[in-house]
Chain A
């Protein structure tokens, strides 16, 4: 079933067309990768899908509802969560607290209920803490739970942001360069984490430069170059696609790791 359907998405910044008439679909229960050389418009597509930028033209449908230019917070409520290329963590909060903020998206504790120390506040507090422990384990960083985000290594910060996004209970998780800053071992572990996320019912769309990871985990790959879609399909076909090879300077990068 189609979870996300993008039709003719276009975004211009001044004279530059960052995203040019891009259409694609993401199927439920799959991992899809969005790749392309620097400046291809990948992050802009992410921003357009998640409401952080408004498209000039085009439409985004999520679960068959039109969500074009919906506000980011409302999209989180509808089941779309994201991470950022430059991690946007809450530095002075512990890893656990960071994830608990995400979990609160599904809760209702108001300032009033909290200020009176009422039972709903206490039970939701417990639920958020339990969800945080579970997700920190899922991404494999539970031993950092009580460390402030500012003190975490770069790779752990990426995983923490993924855990925080998952805590909002998304149907679709959009992960912007999850492997950036990870070493080879951590990247292999990330692949397993991505499978686990998919297996628990969350569809994944990633922007990623690590071709080894992309080729391994993706069910489908979408290739952008200078704002335009140049190819789409399963990893095996994308690796052999002449347009993709041309876009990637002769294509060694794509063909190297299989």
Chain B
């Protein structure tokens, strides 16, 4: 098959498999696990734009997920707003957060930007805990209604699964369009050389701000979906540990790729539920994996940075090129 046909065939087959999964799997818990995969894919693709394309690091993405989750929870559970409106506003609120975080990115690079985003994440984590009247504080926010679209409430795992993956598909499509046209090259040019980008007429500031906002919006939408799928949120969900996990997905996924972060998000999310996925696995083995999960993420990041810079995406690009010439 030609590489051009493959470019369409592979996503089409993957999309089909993802779409029919709830029809094949009877286990409701497994469907839920794959719903969580979808939620993380949305965040990872957004972070892929920011990190893998524009070269900007964020250690605060869990904060955007949290902002989206709390916004949606408050608007639907407390104010009885229609779910779809709350969902859209969740993305907007998180996007606004992205705008705030974009400001330091205009002056800071590398480690310093990482520190600033980490500080932002911790700050928001504090807000989630302390803003009791809105967030419910450390006890969390309960009784978040299921998503309902045009009077139709989605409460079955399969319905929720399709909603989440529908949003994920749109997010991937939107992101893919951006990266395939001028904006994608502009992002990569900022990553490649800011001096060169400026000299080529790229609006470096504009690109950074936009990517931060888009990336944060994706995270916020994922958070809003999470809140309505699970029905309960608390500050312990949106911590530095989650931010590190998201960054791990982006780093392992690789540079200048959307498929890479999506695949990495899938693998890392499934790692959390090994006991449900691997039938023979003992309870203690599964627990050990869960306990060491943050360490595994850290180790994976280190291994990728040391031995496979460019991540999964660079590995299969190299393979593809080797295949063509050989």
Task: State the A residues within 8 Å of B (CB).
Answer: 50, 52, 72-73, 76-77, 81-84, 88-93, 97, 100-102, 104-105, 107, 109-111, 114-117, 121, 124-125, 128, 149, 161, 164-165, 167-168
Q: Apart from A81-B201, A89-B193, A105-B202, what are 7 other A-B pairs with CB-CB below 8 Å?
A: A89-B192, A92-B191, A102-B200, A107-B182, A111-B214, A114-B182, A124-B182
Q: Is the CB of A168 within 8 A of B183?
A: no
Closest beta carbon of chain B to A139's beta carbon, Å: 15
A89 to B199, CA, bound (A): 10
Chain A, Cβ-Cβ closest to B175: A115
A104 to B210, CA, bound (A): 17
Contact A109:B182 (CB < 8 A) given known A92-B191, A101-B189, A115-B177: yes
Q: Is the CB of B181 within 8 A of A89?
A: no
Q: Does B32 contact A (CB under 8 A)?
A: no
Residues in B with CB closer than 8 Å to A115 are 174-175, 177-178, 183
Q: Is the CB of A91 within 8 A of B192?
A: yes
A-B contact pairs, 22 of them (CB 8 A): A73-B204, A84-B199, A89-B192, A90-B197, A92-B188, A93-B188, A97-B185, A100-B182, A101-B197, A102-B200, A102-B201, A104-B202, A105-B200, A105-B202, A114-B183, A116-B177, A117-B177, A125-B182, A161-B196, A164-B196, A165-B199, A168-B200
Residues in A with CB closer than 8 Å to B180 are 114
A64 to B195, CA, bound (A): 27
Q: Is the CB of B185 within 8 A of A93?
A: yes
Q: Is the CB of B178 within 8 A of A90?
A: no
A161 to B191, CA, bound (A): 17
Chain A, Cβ-Cβ closest to B192: A90
Q: Is the CB of B178 within 8 A of A76?
A: no
Closest beta carbon of chain B to A37's beta carbon, Å: 25
Chain B, Cβ-Cβ closest to A113: B181
Q: Is the CB of A121 within 8 A of B200?
A: no
Contact A76:B181 (CB < 8 A) given known A91-B192, A92-B255: no
Q: Is the CB of B198 within 8 A of A73?
A: yes
A115 to B174, CA, bound (A): 5
Q: Is the CB of B199 within 8 A of A81?
A: yes
Q: Does B186 contact A (CB under 8 A)?
A: yes
Chain A, Cβ-Cβ closest to B190: A90
Contact A88:B183 (CB < 8 A) given known A93-B188, A116-B177: no
- Contact among A88, A105, A114, A124 for B196, CB-based, below 8 A: A88
Residues in A with CB closer than 8 Å to B193 are 88-91
Q: Is the CB of B199 within 8 A of A101?
A: no
Per the 8 Å Cβ criterion, residues 171-227 of B in contact with A are 174-175, 177-178, 180-186, 188-189, 191-193, 195-204, 210, 214
Q: Is the CB of A93 within 8 A of B192?
A: yes
**8 cross-chain pairs, A with B, having the tightest CB-CB distances, nearest first:** A105-B201, A90-B192, A88-B196, A76-B201, A114-B181, A109-B182, A88-B193, A88-B195
Residues in A with CB closer than 8 Å to B259 are none
A111 to B187, CA, bound (A): 11
Closest beta carbon of chain B to A22's beta carbon, Å: 22
A73 to B177, CA, bound (A): 25
Q: Does B256 contact A (CB under 8 A)?
A: yes
Q: Is the CB of B201 within 8 A of A77?
A: yes
Closest beta carbon of chain B to A90's beta carbon, Å: 3
Q: Is the CB of B195 within 8 A of A84?
A: yes
Chain B, Cβ-Cβ closest to A108: B182
Closest beta carbon of chain B to A210's beta carbon, Å: 22
